[in-house]
């Protein structure tokens, strides 16, 4: 806009000058006076328009700085403490230095010790990164400024940098202060040749502010991201984000603790067993567990009961894990039958190959799925053998295998299974070096192209062999698969107790190799 405006003014100026010269040559005095007057008009126009552009920009700057210019009384001093953050003991211990430093700086000064200026919490969403940052502020009685990386991403050059300056000025005034920057990757992603000026200026300003901290300052920056790999190296250099702490999904013990925190103020029926709920929620984040506790309470209110029951929790787990139940689904009998055999195929394979513990099989549609097998591992697992990964692929393909065996044709219903199975096959080859012709190779995005053909051959070998195993497994357990499918068609769901009973009535064939 600014460039075009300058060009237009220049064009008028040159045009007017040519007319002036011509008018003078031909002694056209009236035209000459008009052109001279036009110089004044152009100058006035230039001044007015320039003022308008500058005013717009300064308004933008003003609105941006307001964000961090709250009055002292408006600034949060969180009342959250480490007691409110369940589990994550090792992280609390790691952050204790910061709290201790803010509370007793002299101790550190005497020892000549420095504490980190910046701490980076990274990991999947909903694992308690924001909560932890607030707890650090609460424990050290510090002010807490919340901001998000995206608040610093702006169109106008200089706006983001100005916001950073204002944020840090504000924090210094409020010290001791914890600045929490969520989605810090939006502000500090890797710079490259395509980076824009505004983004680079903002990141540079951020680095300058981090470097500019004096040891006497009790301002600590806590950044959070789900994508550590996106961050610019400069951010992670010692002296900036010195400590990088991974915050992952909670293990069984932490899940019990988190559930206890989120149910402590809720009226629970005696039959509610928090450890049972923790067992059924493997892989859930703290936020999902908090959501389950809340959904269970909402369910109890809906059913008009005074206390929350275990059933309410089971309902909530299913809702969070599988999505919202579709009321009055418009599904034909044929489709229902296909879904029942498909899910039965998954369940038979999962139980025979001992992949996770099945909680429930259902053909009541939820979200976009027409049916599902709800299953969780019995215990937290951190490593898997090659055979276990191959078995997982086999379980995923057994839904389609059942369709082929019972209906002689396959449907689109296996799309998500295929996606997951293919992902596991590629990870098995590229990440874990378990391909039969490519053993002990690690292949990343850069080296992928060199091995693309071999990887594709290996992956199709794995998928084809697994599908053959699935077909074999279902064929050798055809009566069992039929019984489960028929039960599903009649009752729509099967729980773990009923499933164990059906299985005990059939003699199982040995597991395929």
Tell me which residues are annotated as active site.
343
- Counting residues that bind ligand ATP (by CB under 6 A) gives 19
99 vs 485, beta carbon nearer ligand ATP: 99
Q: How far is the CB of 210 from ligand ATP (least distance, A)?
A: 21
Nearest partner of 209 among 253, 161, 174, 251, judged by Cα? 161
Q: Tell me which H or E stretch contains 389.
A: helix 386-407
Q: What is the C-alpha separation between 206 and 186, in angstroms, rounded?
A: 12
Q: Burial letters for 128-167: b for 16+ Cβ neighbours within 10 Å, e otherwise?
A: bbbbbbbbbbbbbebbbbbbebebbbbeeebbbbbbbbbb
Q: How far is the CB of 247 from ligand ATP (least distance, A)?
A: 6
The answer to the question of residue 87 lying near ligand ATP (CB under 6 A) is yes
290 vs 374, beta carbon nearer ligand ATP: 290
Q: How far is the CB of 279 from ligand ATP (least distance, A)?
A: 18
287 vs 405, beta carbon nearer ligand ATP: 287
Q: Cβ distance 205 to 234 under 8 Å?
A: no
Q: How far is the CB of 288 from ligand ATP (least distance, A)?
A: 8
- The stretch among 54-62, 81-89, 357-365, 420-428 that binds ligand ATP (CB under 6 A) is 81-89
Q: How far is the CB of 144 from ligand ATP (least distance, A)?
A: 13
The answer to the question of residue 127 lying near ligand ATP (CB under 6 A) is yes
182 vs 198, beta carbon nearer ligand ATP: 182
Nearest partner of 82 among 120, 132, 116, 41, judged by Cα? 132
The answer to the question of residue 86 lying near ligand ATP (CB under 6 A) is yes
Q: How far is the CB of 238 from ligand ATP (least distance, A)?
A: 25
Q: Which residues pair with 495 in a beta bridge?
A: 360
The answer to the question of residue 80 lying near ligand ATP (CB under 6 A) is no
Q: What is the C-alpha separation between 273 and 204, in angstroms, rounded?
A: 52
Q: Cβ distance 343 to 480 under 8 Å?
A: no
The answer to the question of residue 258 lying near ligand ATP (CB under 6 A) is yes
Q: Cβ distance 117 to 210 under 8 Å?
A: yes
Locus of tokens 């936020």: 287
The answer to the question of residue 131 lying near ligand ATP (CB under 6 A) is yes
95 vs 348, beta carbon nearer ligand ATP: 95
Candidates 286, 365, 399, 512: give the one binding ligand ATP (CB under 6 A). Answer: 286
The answer to the question of residue 138 lying near ligand ATP (CB under 6 A) is no
Candidates 78, 116, 118, 126: give the one binding ligand ATP (CB under 6 A). Answer: 126
The residue nearest ligand ATP at its CB is 286
Strand ranges for 351-503 from DSSP E: 357-362, 372-376, 493-495
The answer to the question of residue 320 lying near ligand ATP (CB under 6 A) is no
CA-angle at 379, arms to 376 and 383, nearest 5°:
95
- The stretch among 96-104, 129-137, 208-216, 238-246 that binds ligand ATP (CB under 6 A) is 129-137
Q: How far is the CB of 229 from ligand ATP (least distance, A)?
A: 15
The answer to the question of residue 290 lying near ligand ATP (CB under 6 A) is yes
88 vs 390, beta carbon nearer ligand ATP: 88
Candidates 9, 20, 175, 287: give the one binding ligand ATP (CB under 6 A). Answer: 287
Q: What is the C-alpha separation between 89 and 93, in angstroms, rounded?
A: 6
The answer to the question of residue 120 lying near ligand ATP (CB under 6 A) is no
Give the neighbor-by-neighbor strand order of the sheet with 143-148: 143-148, 177-182, 219-225, 118-122, 241-246
Q: Tell me which H or E stretch contains 224.
A: strand 219-225
Site for ligand ATP in 194-253 (CB under 6 A): 224, 226
Q: SS3 for 382?
A: coil
The answer to the question of residue 261 lying near ligand ATP (CB under 6 A) is yes
The answer to the question of residue 128 lying near ligand ATP (CB under 6 A) is yes
Please give the full DSSP string across 92-161, using - where no structure is assigned.
Answer: HHHHHHHHHHHH-HHHHHHHT----SEEEEESSTTSSHHHHHHHHHHHTT-EEEEEEGGGG--SSTTHHH
Q: Cβ distance 241 to 199 under 8 Å?
A: no
Candidates 44, 66, 125, 436: give the one binding ligand ATP (CB under 6 A). Answer: 125
- The site for ligand ATP (CB under 6 A) is made up of 85-88, 125-131, 182, 224, 226, 258, 261, 286-287, 290
């Amino acid at each position: 806009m600014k460039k075009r405006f300058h060009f237009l003014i220049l064009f008028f100026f040159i045009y007017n000058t040519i007319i002036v010269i011509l008018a003078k040559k031909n002694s056209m005095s009236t035209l000459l006076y008009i052109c001279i007057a036009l110089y004044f008009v152009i100058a006035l126009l230039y001044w007015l328009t320039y003022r308008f552009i500058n005013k717009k920009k300064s308004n933008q700057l003003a609105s941006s700085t307001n964000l961090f210019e709250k009055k002292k009384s408006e600034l949060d001093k969180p009342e959250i403490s480490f007691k409110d953050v369940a589990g994550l003991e090792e992280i609390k211990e790691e952050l204790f230095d910061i709290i201790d430093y803010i509370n007793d700086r002299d101790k550190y000064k005497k020892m000549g010790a420095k504490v980190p200026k910046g701490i980076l919490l990274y990991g999947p969403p909903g694992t308690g990164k924001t909560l932890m940052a607030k707890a650090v502020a609460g424990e050290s009685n510090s002010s807490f400024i919340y901001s998000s990386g995206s608040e610093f991403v702006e169109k106008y050059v200089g706006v983001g940098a100005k916001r950073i300056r204002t944020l840090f000025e504000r924090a210094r005034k409020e010290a001791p202060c914890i600045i929490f920057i969520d989605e810090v990757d939006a502000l500090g992603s890797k710079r490259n040749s395509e980076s824009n000026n505004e983004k680079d200026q903002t990141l540079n300003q951020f680095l300058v502010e981090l470097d500019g901290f004096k040891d006497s300052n009790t301002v600590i920056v806590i950044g959070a991201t789900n994508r550590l790999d996106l961050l610019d190296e400069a951010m992670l250099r010692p002296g900036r984000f010195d400590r990088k702490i991974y915050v992952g999904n909670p293990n069984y013990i932490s899940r019990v603790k988190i559930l206890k925190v989120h149910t402590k103020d809720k009226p629970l029926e005696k039959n509610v067993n928090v450890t049972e709920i923790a067992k059924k929620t493997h892989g859930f984040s703290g936020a999902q567990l908090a959501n389950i506790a809340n959904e269970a309470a909402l369910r109890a209110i809906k059913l008009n009961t005074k206390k929350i029951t275990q059933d309410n929790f089971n309902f909530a787990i299913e809702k969070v894990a599988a999505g919202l139940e579709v009321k009055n689904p418009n599904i034909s009998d044929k489709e229902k039958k296909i879904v029942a055999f498909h899910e039965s195929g998954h369940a038979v394979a999962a139980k025979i190959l001992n992949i996770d513990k099945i909680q429930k099989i259902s053909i009541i549609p939820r979200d976009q799925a027409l049916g599902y097998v709800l299953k969780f591992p019995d215990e937290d697992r951190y490593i898997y053998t090659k055979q276990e990964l191959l078995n997982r692929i086999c379980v995923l393909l057994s839904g389609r295998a059942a369709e082929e065996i019972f209906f002689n044709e396959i449907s689109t219903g296996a799309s998500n299974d295929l996606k997951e199975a293919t992902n596991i096959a590629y990870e098995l080859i590229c990440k874990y070096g378990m391909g039969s012709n490519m053993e002990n190779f690690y292949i990343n995005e850069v080296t992928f192209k060199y091995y693309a053909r071999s990887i594709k051959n290996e992956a199709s070998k794995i998928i084809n062999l697994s599908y053959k195993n699935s077909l074999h497994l279902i064929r050798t357990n055809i009566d069992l698969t039929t019984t489960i499918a028929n039960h599903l068609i009649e009752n729509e769901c099967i729980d773990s107790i009923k499933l164990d009973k059906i299985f005990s009535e059939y003699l199982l064939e040995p597991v395929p190799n």
